[in-house]
Amino acid sequence: MSTGATGAQEVVLRLDRITKRFGALLANDAVSLELKRGEVIALLGENGAGKTTLMNILFGHYVAEEGQVEVFGTPLAPGNPRAALAAGVGMVHQHFTLADNLSVLDNIRLGTESLWSRGQGRAAARARVADLSRDFGLAVHPEARVGSLSVGERQRVEILKALYREARILILDEPTAVLTPQETEALFETLRKAIARGLSILFISHKLHEVMAIADRCVVLRHGKVVGEVATRTTDRAQLAALMVGGEVAMPKAEARSPGAVRMRFAGVSTPDRGAAPGLKALSLDLRAGQITGLAGVSGNGQAALADLVSGLIRPGSGMMELNGVPVAGWTPRAAIGAGVARIPEDRHKTGTIADFTLTENAVLEGYFRPGFSRAGWMDWAAARRFAESIIGAYDVRCPGPQARIRLLSGGNMQKLILGRVLEPGPEIILANQPVRGLDVGAIAYVHSRLIAARDQGAAVLLISEDLDEVQSLSDVIHVISEGRLSPGFARGAMTPAELGLWMAGQGFDHAA
């Protein structure tokens, strides 16, 4: 970046010894931070490090026990969400806060101007939005309905909204999580233009290569404390990663293997669209024993339909689905489990577990009716508890015990219990849908090593992920899904991220078809 911090610059945002407790948990421990004019700071940290809490304090959703927030030298009133907006702080949330049924222009004006004025006010607003989108390279049609926009375009609307409200400080929460590599580059271009106009940016992320590309300084949070503050020029990814997790973590590597027989085959399978999300379009795919098949793609391009199909939640609308060479019949979740399909769902909180059930109950959620866990319709809870205890031991689930409610567990430990539940029976096919989303580095390494071990024992693994790095590091063969269509399979290392990014953006399919 061109605008290095040069000592005497004006401080636009100052967080001064912010401390926030939730019960016994110290979410923020005397966190201090100074953002200067024209500067980009990356706020780094694992899930649960306190980044979100800090942002919620800045935006008045929480009140800190100690410390204060200053914007342009003026203390911000605590607990007032409008104060930050009025002081010129704009936030682009990870989950967009747009009204799908309104136009881009109305979304931008929503909350600041009356939408009833159809005349001059609207025309003026439209002109201003047009200026802003030209100046900042945020191409989006002002009259388009937000519901019809892509995720990248919606993010542009969010940024436009902040700029329209004359934000001088932009806070972006995990802005690249939903973007293709190309869209990410376009976003960075916009941010550079914003910096050139004197805006300041706080960029929350855990993707280190992006942080290195855009930030001037990195502030690293761990367990609620600032554990490091380094200029990007003087550091590297390894040092930042070590700061984030407090030590080195070796990421498992998948060695190439020769694949075995086809376990699950899709031939020309289509499923109906679901609202805005496309269904599958004549998808053909082989899942082979001893092979990890990676599915890359921007979220909402048909991954959910394929995952539901493998899970047994839906059946093919048309086309053929085979299991070990036999067409599936009466395909349901229970049939899938019975056929040896291990399913790691995308949302472990909502789909994978029942929050108020104990670890024991969650451990037998799929197998409670089997002879080992019940007899003639009555549960054998002692056997269920032994099963839960064996998972807790074998999969290193950190928990108060098998009778604790699973909602008390961290995401990583919850995922380990799910892993144990589905891997213990020795599956032939494994569906891993976003298996490490929201996990810390240690848990990610653990989940990945388990998936690789299962592959080495002959399981056919389907890995669905929006994280291209994850897909590339684990997969033996990579497909890209876009608009419900599947790319050809690419061997490990055959494609660069940029090439895959083009497929993710929907290019290449026309030539391949």
Partner 1 sequence: MRLEPVANPSLARRLGYPAAALGATVVIASLLALLAGAEPFGTLGLILQGAAGSKFAALETLNRATPLIFTGLSVAVAFRAKLWNIGAEAQLYAGAIVAVLLGTGALGSPLVLPVSALAAMLAGALVLLGPVLLKTRLGVDEVVTTLLLNFIMLLFVSYLLEGPMKDPMGMGWPKSAALIKEARLPRLVEGLRLHWGFGLALIAAVLVWLVQTRATLGFEMRAVGQNAGAARFAGIPVNAVLVKTALLSGGLAALAGWSEVAGLKGHLSLDLSPGFGYTGIIVAMLAMLHPLGVVVAALFVAGIFVGSDAMSRAAGVPTYIADMLLAVALLLMVLAILLTRFRVVRG
Q: Which amino acid is at 7?
A: G
Q: Residue 435: is it exposed, middle or buried by C-beta count within 10 angstroms (0-12/13-18/19+)? A: buried
Query: Is 357 near partner 1 (CB under 8 A)?
Result: yes
Query: Is 79 near partner 1 (CB under 8 A)?
Result: yes
Query: Is 320 near partner 1 (CB under 8 A)?
Result: no
Query: Is 330 near partner 1 (CB under 8 A)?
Result: no
Using CB under 8 A, which residues numbered 379 to 398 contact partner 1?
A: 379, 381
> Quick one: 272 or 488, whose CB is closer to partner 1?
272
Q: Which of 7, 275, 330, 377 binds partner 1 (CB under 8 A)?
A: 377
Quote the least distance from Cβ 67 to partner 1, whole Å: 16
In 10 A of CB 471, how many CB atoms?
Answer: 23
Q: Are 271 and 469 in contact (CB under 8 A)?
A: no
Query: Is 82 near partner 1 (CB under 8 A)?
Result: no
Quote the least distance from Cβ 31 to partner 1, whole Å: 20
Contacts for 67 with CB less than 8 Å, ≥ 6 apart: 15, 16, 17, 18, 19, 30, 31, 32
Listed ranges 202-210, 232-240, 344-352, 504-512: which one lies at the site for partner 1 (CB under 8 A) = 344-352
Listed ranges 203-211, 216-224, 360-368, 449-457: which one lies at the site for partner 1 (CB under 8 A) = 360-368
Q: Residue 306: is it exposed, middle or buried by C-beta count within 10 angstroms (0-12/13-18/19+)? A: buried
Classified as helix, coil or strand, 307 is: helix
Query: Is 368 near partner 1 (CB under 8 A)?
Result: yes
Listed ranges 111-119, 136-144, 224-232, 375-383: which one lies at the site for partner 1 (CB under 8 A) = 375-383
Helices 181-196 and 151-164, packing angle to 10 deg: 10
Query: Is 80 near partner 1 (CB under 8 A)?
Result: no
Listed ranges 119-127, 161-169, 309-317, 423-431: which one lies at the site for partner 1 (CB under 8 A) = 309-317
Quote the least distance from Cβ 361 to partner 1, whole Å: 7
Q: Are 60 and 87 in contact (CB under 8 A)?
A: no
**Three-class secondary structure assignment of 323-348:** ECCEECCCCCHHHHHHCCEEEECCCH
Q: How far apart are CA 13 and CA 37, in angstroms?
A: 9
Q: How far apart are CA 268 and CA 321, in angstroms?
A: 9
> Quick one: 133 or 311, whose CB is closer to partner 1?
311
> Quick one: 295 or 339, whose CB is closer to partner 1?
339
Q: How far apart are CA 464 and CA 280, in angstroms?
A: 15
> Quick one: 239 or 332, whose CB is closer to partner 1?
332
Classified as helix, coil or strand, 354 is: coil
Q: Which of 56, 182, 351, 390 binds partner 1 (CB under 8 A)?
A: 351
Q: Which of 291, 353, 413, 415 binds partner 1 (CB under 8 A)?
A: 353
Q: Do the strands 40-44 and 291-296 form a parallel or antiparallel pair, or are they unpaired? A: unpaired
Structure tokens at 119: 């005349």
Q: Which of 227, 365, 383, 502 binds partner 1 (CB under 8 A)?
A: 365
> Quick one: 131 or 347, whose CB is closer to partner 1?
347
The CA-atom distances, in angstroms, between 470 and each of 42, 239, 347, 467 are: 22, 20, 17, 5
Q: Which residues pair with 316 in a beta bridge?
A: none
Quote the least distance from Cβ 351 to partner 1, whole Å: 5
Query: Is 509 near partner 1 (CB under 8 A)?
Result: no
Q: Which residues pair with 34 in a beta bridge?
A: 14
Q: Which residues bind partner 1 (CB under 8 A)?
A: 63, 79, 311-313, 332-334, 336-337, 343, 345, 350-357, 361, 365-366, 368-369, 374, 377-379, 381
